[in-house]
Chains A and B, each alone.
Chain A
């Protein structure tokens, strides 16, 4: 039987762990609200942007003169996977789920004989993919110094991706992130950004489908201007979704941890009280039998 002193120490240590997890949960809750707010704020831009892109892409169509970002390179050999994860752990299965999705896709592509290149955003994704796909890594983006996610962060990543595309380093680019559903569920998602895919829903939702627009300059010039922005916009909204997902995942993970710590404290306290009682009983028996012996 563990002695009283040990039990007492363990209770104290679990209690301080509970304090930490509780604090982390509350911090995550506050950050989640901010992250959700940011995601909410960016939504009008993204929606309109996609609606206009849908319209333009539909009208330019598959013609040979269409920009390469829309039409693709004509090949399907080299795939670039941009895996976006968090910079920190302790957020449940958040990072692991994204990495799992990316790993499945990479394995599938490799099995088909394609070439895979990987850009990682966030330290955790890089760590967990390094062992299997280390030799496919081409770049890593570190966001650990970024306190407040801004559009220019997304632009920097987009510039990196587009630069490689222009240099002919890959044919298809996909981003991996976690879509924020609610606090308990975040869905790891894969989205193709190059060549640009028209979002069917957004195109169908465009209310003025019948209106004929004038374009200034012409459609293709606008499209050439917008497509790179489209990549940045997709990455930005993915980063924001990811941010909200991370905090949501951390919040529920820490909530669980706090609850587990509470249960453990209860169990240990009962054990402590029992052994304390046993010690008292023992002492009483000793005194009584001592007195009887006289």
Chain B
């Protein structure tokens, strides 16, 4: 039985990776999860975070900012709204992501004054973004 999965990471602008992987760690909306071969079929949305792919050659990290993942026994497809290899992400880059999330929060607070839903979502997005930055050693300022 194959112990690898076909892993694809695609963003709307390009296909970043397509490779055989042993395991893939995905920042799911309701918590991180690791997909390996024979994982039960699952579709989950993503929060901003880091996708880690481990293959025979070692592991690689990608920063993603939301989207969703489709997992079945043989394939793992991550469809990220934006995906950047971790080495390529710079301070300015990260700052612009955080700024964007901050703007979104401010806008949500303005538009949905008495509806907590969208405001909470935006606040969570910002918190996730900052947490992700902490994780890879970047601060929003």
Q: Mark A19-62, 1 if CB is under 8 A from B, else 0.
A: 00000000000000000001001101110110010001000000
Do A225 and B45 have beta carbons less than 8 Å apart? yes
Interface residues of B in 6-21 (CB under 8 A from A): 8, 10-15
**In the bound complex, CA of A150 to CA of B13 (Å):** 7
Within 8 Å by CB of B40, from A48, A208, A214, A221, lies: A214
Cβ of B30 < 8 Å from any Cβ of A? Answer: yes
Do B15 and A41 have beta carbons less than 8 Å apart? yes
For chain A, the bracket of interface size reads 20 to 34
Cβ of A151 < 8 Å from any Cβ of B? Answer: yes
Do B12 and A216 have beta carbons less than 8 Å apart? no
Cβ of B36 < 8 Å from any Cβ of A? Answer: no
Known A-B contacts A48-B70, A217-B30; the reply to A151 vs B41 at CB < 8 A is no
**In the bound complex, CA of A264 to CA of B28 (Å):** 65
Q: Which of B52-60, B76-84, B87-95 forms contacts with chain A?
A: B76-84
Do B72 and A208 have beta carbons less than 8 Å apart? yes
Do A52 and B13 have beta carbons less than 8 Å apart? no
Within 8 Å by CB of B43, from A44, A52, A236, lies: A52
Known A-B contacts A225-B68, A226-B68, A233-B12; the reply to A217 vs B45 at CB < 8 A is yes
Do A212 and B15 have beta carbons less than 8 Å apart? no
Known A-B contacts A41-B13, A216-B29; the reply to A211 vs B41 at CB < 8 A is yes
Cβ of B106 < 8 Å from any Cβ of A? Answer: no
Do B70 and A52 have beta carbons less than 8 Å apart? yes
**In the bound complex, CA of A150 to CA of B96 (Å):** 16
**In the bound complex, CA of A245 to CA of B81 (Å):** 25
Do B10 and A45 have beta carbons less than 8 Å apart? yes
Q: Which chain A residues border B136 with CB–CB below 8 Å?
A: none
Q: Mark A232-251, 1 if CB is under 8 A from B, else 0.
A: 11001000000000000000
Do B42 and A214 have beta carbons less than 8 Å apart? yes
Cβ of A174 < 8 Å from any Cβ of B? Answer: no
Closest Cβ of chain A: how far from B110's Cβ, in Å? 12
Closest Cβ of chain B: how far from A68's Cβ, in Å? 15
Do B28 and A216 have beta carbons less than 8 Å apart? yes
Do A44 and B41 have beta carbons less than 8 Å apart? no
**In the bound complex, CA of A221 to CA of B117 (Å):** 13
Within 8 Å by CB of A213, from B8, B28, B30, B43, lies: B43
Closest Cβ of chain A: how far from B83's Cβ, in Å? 10
Cβ of B38 < 8 Å from any Cβ of A? Answer: no
Cβ of B44 < 8 Å from any Cβ of A? Answer: yes
**In the bound complex, CA of A49 to CA of B12 (Å):** 10
Do B11 and A151 have beta carbons less than 8 Å apart? yes
Q: Which chain A residues border B13 with CB–CB below 8 Å?
A: 38, 41-42, 150-151
Do A42 and B70 have beta carbons less than 8 Å apart? no
Q: Which chain B residues border A232 with CB–CB below 8 Å?
A: 12
Within 8 Å by CB of B77, from A48, A211, A215, lies: A48
In the complex, 8 of the A-B residue pairs with CB atoms within 8 angstroms, ordered by the A residue number, are A44-B8, A56-B43, A151-B81, A213-B41, A214-B40, A216-B43, A222-B45, A236-B12
10 further A-B contacts with Cβ under 8 Å, apart from A45-B15, A213-B72, A232-B12, are A41-B13, A46-B12, A48-B8, A56-B43, A151-B12, A213-B42, A213-B43, A217-B44, A217-B45, A229-B81
